[in-house]
Amino acid sequence: MSEPKTIALHTTNLVVGYTKDKKDFPLFEELNLSLHSGELVCFMGSNGIGKTTLIKTLAGLQKPLQGSFKFPKDQSVAVVLTDRITSSLMTVYDLVTYGRYPYLNWDISLSPKDYEIIDNAINQVHVESLVSKRLYELSDGQLQMAMLAKALAQNTPILFLDEPTAHLDLNNRVEIMNILRSLSRTSGKTILIATHELDLALQTADRIWLATPDRKILQGIPEDLVLDGTFDEVFQFKGFDLKTGKVSHEAYRKVTIQLEGNGYEYLWTKNAFERNGYEVKPAALIKVSVIQNGNKLIWTILKDNEEKSFYTLAELLESLESRILKV
């Protein structure tokens, strides 16, 4: 983007944590972070490191131990937390209405403008069909959408979300992230998401905040943090190669296979072999080729001048295994 970035949030030597028995227990120290207008930042770090505490502190729900942070104006943050709503009889519409509360008098009368903002929020997360449903009737994904609509109805320039995709299936996770992504692009909202979803974060975030075990937060764009090994250092991955995005497999069968093919077919066949302990190399005694015939896939295996074809990978793997056992 060519336009100059405006600061939406800035922290100065911020120390956050909790107080117990009048003693301070800092979780993060000396934070000098900033959020720019219209960017989507994913805040990552291992469990219990203090992501929720920082989000709550920045949202004004708890006091910082030291230091300060500044917004351009008051009432500029809406939050989606992990707290469950116990009032299950509430309708989705009523839940979204809460977003207008900061602007309403004691008698909570909604103006036509408020209704318009509420309808907009409902449209933005596509929950029009759920408005008269009660919270106990919703799936986890729908409930999260409703909570997001409530936060949007607050009409704030900044949005904080704590683990918005926890407990959701892949489809819902992707949908939530897409909605957030488009919100930051189209309506210029600044969005901070605390999340564990490494893959989604790497693919959607403009920047990453990465909590380190020494109570600091590193900042950077996703690709830089992957390539310079920061992620590996912080997460200490066990058997996961971030650069290829794959779980590492041990080639325990000591059998190498030469694989020929293209595109997705090639990748998934390779995945099947590696997952089952075979090693895939450019040249080997066992040759497997995958070709597309019409809308069918055919795998052909060539070994000792003997050729055999299969229509599923399962059959191929079974045959491979029985041959190895024979030898």
Partner 1 sequence: MRQATFWKEGILLIGLLVVLFIANISLGSVHIPFSRLLSGLLTEQGTYSDILWQFRIPKALTCLLAGSALATAGLLMQTLFRNPMAGPDVLGLTSGASLLVALVLLIGQLNPNLGAAVFESPWSIALAASIGGALVFVLIISIATYVKENTSLLIIGLMISAATSSIVSVLQFTSQADDLQTFMIWTLGSVGGTGWRELGVLSIVVLIGSAISYGSIKSLNSWLLGENYARSLHVNMGRSRFWIVVATGLLTGAVTAFCGPIAFVGLAVPHLVRLIIPVTNHKILIPAVMAGGASLLLLCDMLAQIPGSTQVLPLNAVTSLIGAPVVIWMVIKSKRISV
The window from 19-27, 108-116, 185-193, 299-307 that contacts partner 1 (CB under 8 A) reads 108-116
Which of 26, 30, 36, 134 is close enough to bind partner 1 by CB under 8 A? Answer: 134
- CB under 8 Å to 261, separation ≥6 — which residues? 269, 289, 290, 291
| 136/252 with CB nearer partner 1 | 136
| 61/242 with CB nearer partner 1 | 61
Q: Examine residue 284 and tell whether it contacts partner 1 (CB under 8 A).
A: no
Burial degree of 146 (CB within 10 A; 0-12, 13-18, 19+): buried
- CA dist list (Å): 253 to 63, 256, 286: 57, 9, 13
CA distance 192 to 37: 11
Q: Which residues of 211-223 are buried (b: 16+ CB within 10 A; e: fewer)?
A: beeebebbeeebe
Q: Examine residue 179 and tell whether it contacts partner 1 (CB under 8 A).
A: no
Residue pair 45/196 in contact by the 8 Å Cβ criterion: no
Q: Coil, helix or strand for 327?
A: coil
Q: Examine residue 166 and tell whether it contacts partner 1 (CB under 8 A).
A: no
| 105/171 with CB nearer partner 1 | 105
Query: From residue 181 to residue 220, what is the string marking binding to partner 1 with x (rule CB under 8 A)?
Result: ----------------------------------------
- Least separation in angstroms between residue 71's CB and partner 1 is 13
Which of 21, 23, 47, 107 is close enough to bind partner 1 by CB under 8 A? Answer: 107
**For 216, left (φ over 0), alpha (ψ -120 to 50), or beta?**
beta
- CA dist list (Å): 311 to 263, 297, 315: 18, 6, 7
Q: What tokens does 15 get?
A: 């120390």
CA distance 327 to 313: 21
- Least separation in angstroms between residue 154's CB and partner 1 is 8
For residues 66-105, which are near partner 1 according to CB under 8 A? Answer: 75, 77-79, 81, 83-91, 93-94, 97-99, 101-102, 104-105
| 103/237 with CB nearer partner 1 | 103
Which of 59, 179, 272, 280 is close enough to bind partner 1 by CB under 8 A? Answer: 59
Positions touching partner 1 (CB under 8 A) are 56, 59-61, 75, 77-79, 81, 83-91, 93-94, 97-99, 101-102, 104-108, 110, 115, 119, 122, 128, 131-132, 134, 136, 154
